[in-house]
Amino acid sequence: MTSNYDKHIFRQLEDVLKKCDSLSQEIKDLKEQHKQEIYEINQKHEKEVKALNDKIDSLEKENAVLKRLLKYKENYLNYIKDFELPFDDNLSERDLRATKLKKKVSGCHRSFEGLKDYSNIRTIISTCIKQGKSYFEFFKNILNNKPISISKQRLNNDALKVQLF
């Protein structure tokens, strides 16, 4: 038999256990709530850190460009002193374009000798064009044993116009 006192203690224990269960559930809910808040805070800070790192990378690249400009300023500004010099390297890039196209179309040259022959022919063609001479006439004269000279002279304005248009 259980006395009234024992029943009273059991009821108090039941109440305490119910409160413990309730508090335990509240703690779990708070943990979940805080997990989400912590996750959101971390996400926000990660975005800010990424933005700062991107800005640092950008500034480092700009700094590298400025250092290079200062180091080679004489080379970059040569065309101001000598008006016959082109201010860009489009002619050089144009010379390389034919070789790159050849590689893209055929994949490669079949032999090293073929590569050397192709390079020599491209060099002659490019030099003739830059000097305003006909490369067809040049090759025709070579085949007829009447070579013409290709001197290293600067481009005149007419040759530039022919080359650009």
Q: What is the pLDDT of residue 161?
A: 38
Phi-psi region of 38 (alpha: psi -120 to 50; beta: other; left: phi over 0): alpha
Lowest average pLDDT, out of 18-22, 94-98, 111-115, 127-131, goes to 94-98
Nearest CA among 91, 74, 75, 165 for reference residue 130: 91
The pLDDT of residue 147: 67
Sequence spans of domains, the chain: 1-76, 86-164
Phi, psi of 109, rounded to the nearest 5 degrees: -90, 145
- Mean pLDDT, the chain, rounded, equals 76
**Residues 6+ positions from 98 with CB-CB distance below 8 Å:** 122
Residue 109, Cβ density class (10 Å: 0-12 exposed, 13-18 middle, ≥19 buried): middle
Selection from 120, 152, 146, 150 nearest residue 134 by Cα: 150
Range with the poorest average pLDDT among 21-25, 43-47, 99-103, 130-134: 99-103
pLDDT higher than 60, residue 25: yes
Residue 164: predicted pLDDT:
35
Does residue 156 have a pLDDT over 60? no
| More reliable by pLDDT, 161 or 148 | 148
Average pLDDT over every residue of 131-151: 80
Closest CA to 127 of 117, 138, 116, 112: 138
Residue 155 pLDDT exceeds 50: no
pTM over 0.75: no
Location of structure tokens 């116009």:
161
pLDDT for res 131: 83
Taken in order 145, 146, 150, 151, the sign of the CA dihedral is positive
pLDDT digits (tens, 9 = 90+) for 52-109: 888 888 888 888 888 888 888 777 777 778 777 776 767 777 777 777 777 767 767 7
Residue 49 has pLDDT above 60, yes or no: yes
